Amino acid sequence: MTMSSVEPTTLTHEQLRAYREHGYLQLDSFVGAECLDELRAASQVFIERSRELTGSNRTLDVEPGHTAEAPRLRRLVSPPDHHDTFLRFTMEGPPAQLAMALLGGPIRFHHAKLNYKWSGGGEEVRWHQDIQFWPHTDFTPLTIGVYLDDVDDEMGPMGVLPGSHLGPLHDMYDADGNWAGAMNDADVDTLDLDAMVWLRGPAGSVTVHNCCMVHGSQPNHSIRARPLLLQTYSAADSYPIAGIGANGAAGRHSGTVIGGRASQLVAVDGRTMHGAPDWSRKGPPTIFGSQQAT
């Protein structure tokens, strides 16, 4: 995969308007065949590795019933941390170019994952919104999914509820106060599920959904797995809030700015400030050293 040959993505005014209004986009066959072949080959590496497991670990999440002879892989966690093909694709390839086109400038990478949704009943994903899992200082984060194979209705494609990104932010704790990661039944009953749009499509198709979009998927009842590679980005001046959700465990490349440099401007409660540089990797200087150096 030669990422230097990847051309910047241009979206039409209609596509940009549709994303702002409806909270999602689908672009069929957006990723080319050569690129897909490399992604599939990288994916296969981890399917083979999963055969060595009897249960999940920090990298590979497997379903109950997973065996070496009949692997049932749910997720590869943080693909860019584990294979160079995923790293280059996420940081330089079509999803990064698309995110920059949608957000209008440099972007900040947050995390990635590869959801396999195995054949013969691969697990459903109940209705939820993403932003509660990893809150940010604004609502620009979006997730770009790439179907590595053709996806039809039988395979449990992702469903999105158009316009729901502009609605309520739902509580995803259960009645006992435990994190459930999904909306409760009472809130689901308020949704117009007939308006759900199911994002099926040929291999290489791309889905985009805003972090506040209500979405989910049904079990995969087909005889084929449904691998979906997901990358989450935000505007460069959007920052994950530390100490809540998955923000502290988003992978070693989380926070990388793509297509420019971070301005260090951040808006909180309607007030904008020019924050200090990011010292997370080298440690902060003392106030004394900073002031004496100016």
pLDDT tens-digit map of 235-265: 999 999 999 999 989 999 999 999 998 889 9
> DSSP of the chain, one letter per residue?
--GGGPPPP---HHHHHHHHHHSEEEETT-S-HHHHHHHHHHHHHHHHHHTT-SS--SSEEE-TT--SSS--EEEEE-GGGT-HHHHHHHHHSHHHHHHHHHHTS-EEEEEEEEE---TTTBPPEEEE-STTTS-BSSS--EEEEEESS-B-GGG--EEE-TTGGGS-----B-TTS-B-SS--HHHHTTS-GGG-EE--BSTT-EEEEETT--EEE--B-SSS---EEEEEEEETT--BPTTSTTGGGS-TTTT-EESS----EEEETTEEEEPPP--TTT-PPPHHHHHHT-
Q: What number is the average pLDDT over the span 126-136? A: 97
Query: Which carries the bigger pLDDT value, residue 2 or residue 160?
Result: 160
Domains of the chain (ranges plus CATH)?
3-262 (2.60.120.620)
Residue 284 has a pLDDT of 66
Q: Sorting pLDDT into bands at 50, 70 and 90, what band is 124? A: confident
Residue 1 has a pLDDT of 52
Q: What number is the average pLDDT over the span 46-63? A: 93
Residue 280 has a pLDDT of 78
CA–CA distance, 284 with 202 (Å, rounded to integer): 48
pLDDT tens-digit map of 71-117: 989 999 999 999 999 999 999 999 999 999 999 999 999 999 999 98
Residue 31 has pLDDT above 70, yes or no: yes
pTM of the full structure: 0.92
Residue 293 has pLDDT above 80, yes or no: no
Query: Which carries the bigger pLDDT value, residue 265 or residue 231?
Result: 231
